[in-house]
Amino acid sequence: CSLEELVMILKTRHDILPYRTNIVTEQLTPASRLLTTVTGIAVQPNKAIVGANAFAHEAGIHQHGMLMDKSTYEIMTPESVGLKDNALVLGKHSGRHAFKKRLEELGYELNDEMLNKAFDRFKSLADLKKEIFDEDLDAIVADEVMRIPEKYKLSHITVTCGSFAVATATVQMEIEDSSVRTAELGDGPVDATLKAIKKLTKTKAKLLQYTVGSITGGTDALGEVTVRLSENDRTVIGRGSSTDIIEASAKAYINALNRLSIKKAKLQEGL
Chain-centroid distance, C-alpha 203: 25
Q: Are 140 and 116 in contact (CB under 8 A)?
A: no
- Residue 271: pLDDT over 60: no
Residues 128-181: tens digit of each pLDDT: 887 788 778 888 887 776 677 889 999 999 999 999 899 999 999 999 889 999
* Whole-number Å distance between alpha carbons of 203 and 103: 37
What average pLDDT score do residues 115-130 get?
88
What average pLDDT score do residues 227-235 get?
91
- Cα-based distances in Å from 271 to 258, 265, 266, 267, 268: 20, 10, 9, 7, 5
- Residue 184: pLDDT over 50: yes
Residues 19-65: tens digit of each pLDDT: 889 999 988 888 887 787 677 677 877 888 888 777 765 444 444 44
* Whole-number Å distance between alpha carbons of 224 and 95: 25
25: number of Cβ within 10 Å: 19
74/206: higher pLDDT:
206
Q: Which fold has domain 152-270?
A: Double Stranded RNA Binding Domain (3.30.160)
Q: What is the mean pLDDT of the chain?
A: 84
85: number of Cβ within 10 Å: 9
The model's confidence at residue 236, banded by pLDDT at 50, 70 and 90, is: very high
* Whole-number Å distance between alpha carbons of 253 and 83: 31
14/271: higher pLDDT:
14
Q: What's the pTM?
A: 0.72
269: number of Cβ within 10 Å: 7
Domain extents for the chain? 1-52, 96-144, 152-270
The predicted structure's pLDDT at residue 248: 94
Chain-centroid distance, C-alpha 200: 26
- Residue 81: pLDDT over 60: yes
